[in-house]
């Protein structure tokens, strides 16, 4: 029993398009050819992949799980395509980097800016990724390295603490608390607040840390990402409790930053595969990354 590459290709096309006709157009083959191969795949694997309903193919739970695995194969194939393209065109080296969403607003753009100034011919692939998705991206070599704000434990990954950050209050310049040097717990309890959702790790960190200090705060609004909290805060909908990187370098016009009444810290971590020797390009990027974290902790990164 083998799941051959051609079967994967047809399966993927059907999953993406939802129909045999759509898959046929995508792969430039006939509809009967797609139908035959799909039926043969289900028979040979002994797995029902689709329910046929009204001309559409509805994926089963098994198909949804299998699709996640097939995506890894295609990600690896894309990486090979890029490598071959670079060889053929003699393109300079490249690097693929990912980070936690909150670091993608100010910290990583600054690091990439400095790296690009030093190595302008190196192509950079950059995106943000949720922490739970990083192991697959790193171990499938979709990315070379990642920077995350939360702990990540995996036997095949190296996690190096680079520095730390803290949670802060972001509020409008005309907010009643804007002129206060420090904001108290009572201040927060008396005003509307915007929290990150407890369903995401940073949101859980905020809630658990406040609870550990005996602070009971019920937010007016909760959101899944820091930039959404900041966007709402600019509309005077409450005080946003977010990480300092999301509001660094005057990212949000009209917002000012105040310290929280309690210290809520998190680590900034470099993550890369344990059994892969970093390329020279990766080492250059990591060197700039380490220097930037030191500058940040000294308050000089955005000067």
pLDDT in tens, 68-123: 888 888 777 766 766 676 666 655 588 999 999 889 988 999 999 999 999 998 99
User: Where in the chain are all domains bearing CATH 3.40.190.10?
Assistant: 90-162+267-297
pLDDT at 6 over 60: yes
Task: State the average pLDDT over residues 124-149.
Answer: 90
The domain defined by 90-162+267-297 folds into D-Maltodextrin-Binding Protein; domain 2 (3.40.190)
CATH class for the domain made up of 5-83: mainly alpha
User: Where in the chain are all domains bearing CATH 1.10.10.10?
Assistant: 5-83
| pLDDT in the model for residue 1 | 63
Cα-based distances in Å from 199 to 129, 135, 205, 222, 231: 16, 20, 10, 10, 20
Cα-based distances in Å from 131 to 128, 200, 209: 9, 10, 20
| pLDDT in the model for residue 86 | 61
pTM of the model: 0.68
| pLDDT in the model for residue 82 | 65
Non-local (6+) Cβ contacts of 6 within 8 A are 37
User: Where in the chain are all domains bearing CATH 3.40.190.290?
Assistant: 165-265
Helical residues (DSSP H) of 128-184, grouped into ranges: 134-139
Which carries the bigger pLDDT value, residue 157 or residue 78? 157
pLDDT at 182 over 90: no
CATH of domain 165-265: 3.40.190.290
Identify which of 203, 244, 210, 242 has the alpha carbon closest to the alpha carbon of residue 226: 242
Pick the range with the lowest mean pLDDT from 164-168, 224-228, 247-251, 282-286.
247-251
* DSSP single-letter state for residue 131: G
Q: CA–CA separation, 205 vs 207, rounded Å?
A: 6
Instruction: For residue range 21-57, list pLDDT tens digits in order.
Output: 888 887 888 989 988 999 888 888 889 999 887 767 8
């Amino acid at each position: 029993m083998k799941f051959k590459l051609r079967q994967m290709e047809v399966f993927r096309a059907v999953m993406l398009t939802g129909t045999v006709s759509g898959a046929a157009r995508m792969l430039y083959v006939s509809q009967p050819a797609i139908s035959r191969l799909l039926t043969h795949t289900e028979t040979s694997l002994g797995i029902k992949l689709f329910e046929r309903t009204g001309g559409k193919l509805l994926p089963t739970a098994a198909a949804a799980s299998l699709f996640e695995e097939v995506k890894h194969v295609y990600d690896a194939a894309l990486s090979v395509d890029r490598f071959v393209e670079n060889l053929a065109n003699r393109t300079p080296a490249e690097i693929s980097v990912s980070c936690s969403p909150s670091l993608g607003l100010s910290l990583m753009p600054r690091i990439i800016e400095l790296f690009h100034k030093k190595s302008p011919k190196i192509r950079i692939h950059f995106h943000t990724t949720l922490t739970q998705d990083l192991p697959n991206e790193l171990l499938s070599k979709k990315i070379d390295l990642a920077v995350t704000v939360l702990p990540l434990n995996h036997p095949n990954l190296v996690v190096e603490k680079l520095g730390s950050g803290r949670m802060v209050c972001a509020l409008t310049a005309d907010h009643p608390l804007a002129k206060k040097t420090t904001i108290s717990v009572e201040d927060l309890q008396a005003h509307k607040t915007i929290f990150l959702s407890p369903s995401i790790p940073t949101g859980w960190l905020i809630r658990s840390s406040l609870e550990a200090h005996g602070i009971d705060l019920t937010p007016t609004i909760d959101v899944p990402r820091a930039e959404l909290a900041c966007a709402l805060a600019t509309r005077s909908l409450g005080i946003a409790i977010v990480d300092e990187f999301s509001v660094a370098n005057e990212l949000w016009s009209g917002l000012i930053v105040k310290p929280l009444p309690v210290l809520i810290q998190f680590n900034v971590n470099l993550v890369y595969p344990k059994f892969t020797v970093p390329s020279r390009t990766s080492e250059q990027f990591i060197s700039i990354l380490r220097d930037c974290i030191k500058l940040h902790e000294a308050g000089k990164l955005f000067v």
